[in-house]
């Protein structure tokens, strides 16, 4: 059944990956718009605050998308170390909390799926895009705590890493010979591109002048 669904929205195979048809692109654009509408139109708050949140979320998604094209490591089966692209999604969680952070991350995941699809099977589509990028919104858990952005970024990236590792394990366990450990391979594969970007970003977030500037941005974003 799921093959029939995939064939309606995409072309290709599990071995070579899938490429989206027009119907696939339309579906995911609609999902992005629906997610943004849910988070920003159902909250009981003033129109001014809603508009500001939408603007900040949109700008952060745009910055994340632009910096995602600046790659220092590009893995053959998906995944890349970029110029701080994960930070911009985590930043929305830091600004507005977990709920908006998660939904912005999910919307960004669908956007990444549209721009650079790398799909091998249906569950991997969900894990590697909306779920993995949605986890970056977990940064909102520490939005009100001391050093909240630093701790939140670490949590968000960890959530994304674990999700990709689970997705990789599901894929590799069916393709690797029995003598190889798919769990260890998936952990290592995903660490290759996520860890370097995370380390550089955490070093930057440890600079007081930089974080003080971001605190001022947060104050303006919530006025």
Residue 76's pLDDT is 75
Average pLDDT over residues 69-98: 89
- 37 vs 70: which has the higher pLDDT: 70
pLDDT greater than 90 at residue 222: no
Looking at the predicted structure, is the pLDDT value of residue 28 above 70? no
| Mean model confidence pLDDT for the chain | 82
Q: What is the pLDDT of residue 47?
A: 54
User: Confidence class of residue 3 from pLDDT cuts 50, 70 and 90?
Assistant: very low
The yes-or-no verdict on residue 131 having pLDDT over 80 is yes
pLDDT digits (tens, 9 = 90+) for 138-170: 999 998 888 899 999 999 999 999 999 999 998
Domains in the chain, ordered, with CATH? 2-221 (1.10.1760.20)
Average pLDDT over residues 60-80: 87
Q: For the whole model, what pTM was predicted?
A: 0.79
pLDDT-derived band at 54, boundaries 50, 70, 90? confident
More confident site: 126 or 175:
126
CA distance 66 to 64: 6
């Amino acid at each position: 059944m799921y093959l029939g669904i995939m064939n309606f929205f995409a072309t290709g195979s599990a071995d070579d990956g899938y490429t989206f048809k027009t119907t696939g692109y339309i579906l995911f654009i609609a999902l992005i718009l629906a997610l943004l509408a849910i988070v920003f139109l159902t909250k009981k708050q003033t129109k001014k605050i809603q508009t500001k949140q939408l603007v900040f979320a949109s700008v952060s998604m745009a910055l994340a998308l632009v910096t995602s094209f600046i790659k220092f490591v590009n893995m053959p089966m998906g995944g890349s170390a970029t110029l701080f692209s994960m930070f911009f999604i985590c930043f929305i969680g830091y600004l507005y909390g977990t709920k908006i952070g998660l939904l912005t991350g999910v919307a960004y995941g669908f956007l990444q799926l549209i721009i650079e699809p790398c799909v091998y099977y249906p569950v991997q589509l969900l894990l590697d895009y909306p779920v993995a990028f949605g986890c970056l919104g977990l940064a909102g858990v520490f939005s009100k705590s001391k050093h909240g952005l630093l701790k939140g970024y670490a949590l968000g990236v960890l959530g994304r890493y674990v999700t990709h590792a689970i997705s990789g394990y599901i894929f590799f366990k069916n393709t690797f010979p029995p003598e190889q450990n798919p769990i260890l391979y998936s952990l290592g594969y995903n660490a290759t591109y996520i860890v370097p970007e995370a380390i550089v970003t955490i070093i930057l977030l440890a600079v007081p002048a930089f974080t003080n500037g971001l605190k001022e941005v947060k104050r303006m974003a919530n006025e």
